[in-house]
Amino acid sequence: MSLNSKKAVVLVSGGLDSATVLAIARQAGHECYALSFDYGQRHRSELLAAAKVVEHLGAIAHRTFVLDLAQFGGSALTDSSIALPRQHAEGIPVTYVPARNTVFLSIALAWAEVLGAYDIFIGVNAIDYSGYPDCRPEYIEAYQRMATLATKTGVEGQLIQISTPLLHLSKAEIIRRGTDLGVNYGLTLSCYDPSEQGLACGQCDSCRLRREGFSVSGIADPTKYVSH
């Protein structure tokens, strides 16, 4: 294992943010190992989008880790008995998946240690989704401390850096950044409730944020929406 390893584990969900993160990590010269989660989300379109994004932007390997969080439910994204919100509400949204980023980052940390990778990239953002506790800067700082304490790599003096290049960017800024890097956002899927064919609903919170982001950025929105 080289001390200046350029290997990086990149979490890729199939959404707009993580596609941008993969492009940023690639541009920084990392050898990217893409990691997606089949976590019991309501629809498969997200994983199909993740595969397309990885193929488009390139990675050394792409793993889809099966981890059935739907066994517990507790989120509108993993439990079909909880309705998806159509309006933005105060507080922590029902689309929050209990401890999801902690679970995902822990799997990423395990893979990074096995690979000898010193970087983990995750597309968390504190601007648009301020309701999610595991997207906050203080959460990432705490996770970083824990990761150093928790790993052989860390104890032996090598940091596994948790990189969050989108943390303080608006959706429009993320879209501009990715467009500059050549990301084809037409391959990505942000919708919480897409059709069987993988078309975005255009009405959920995530669709609304994405649409506003394209509108503010001045970049044409390539998203395929269902027609109502």
Task: For residues 46 and 26, give the distance between their C-alpha atoms in angstroms, rounded to a whole number.
Answer: 21
Q: Three-class SS of residue 119?
A: strand
- Minimum distance from residue 207 beta carbon to Zn ion (Å): 3
49 binds Zn ion (CB under 5 A): no
207 binds Zn ion (CB under 5 A): yes
The residue (of 17 and 113) whose beta carbon lies closer to Zn ion is 17
- Minimum distance from residue 210 beta carbon to Zn ion (Å): 8
204 binds Zn ion (CB under 5 A): yes
Q: Which residues contact 146 (CB under 8 A, 6 or more apart)?
A: none
- Minimum distance from residue 196 beta carbon to Zn ion (Å): 14
The residue (of 57 and 207) whose beta carbon lies closer to Zn ion is 207
The residue (of 176 and 211) whose beta carbon lies closer to Zn ion is 211
Interface size with Zn ion, residues (CB under 5 A):
5
Q: Choose the binding region for Zn ion from 14-22, 107-115, 124-132, 192-200 (rule: CB under 5 A).
A: 192-200
The number of C-alpha atoms within 13 Å of 165 and in the hemisphere containing its C-beta is: 22
Of the residues 108, 191, 211, 213, which one makes contact with Zn ion according to CB under 5 A: 191
CA distances from 38 to 44, 117, 144 (A): 9, 22, 24
Which pairing describes strands 7-11 and 119-121: parallel, antiparallel, or unpaired? parallel
183 binds Zn ion (CB under 5 A): no
The residue (of 63 and 224) whose beta carbon lies closer to Zn ion is 224
Determine phi and psi for 63, rounding to 5 degrees.
Answer: -110, 140
- 97 touches 76 (CB < 8 A): no
What's CA 212's distance to the chain center, in Å?
A: 19
- Minimum distance from residue 212 beta carbon to Zn ion (Å): 13
Of the residues 201, 210, 211, 213, which one makes contact with Zn ion according to CB under 5 A: 201
Q: Positive or negative, the Cα torsion across 161, 162, 168, 171?
A: positive
For residue 151, what are its two tokens? 């790993």
Residues near Zn ion (CB under 5 A) are 191, 200-201, 204, 207
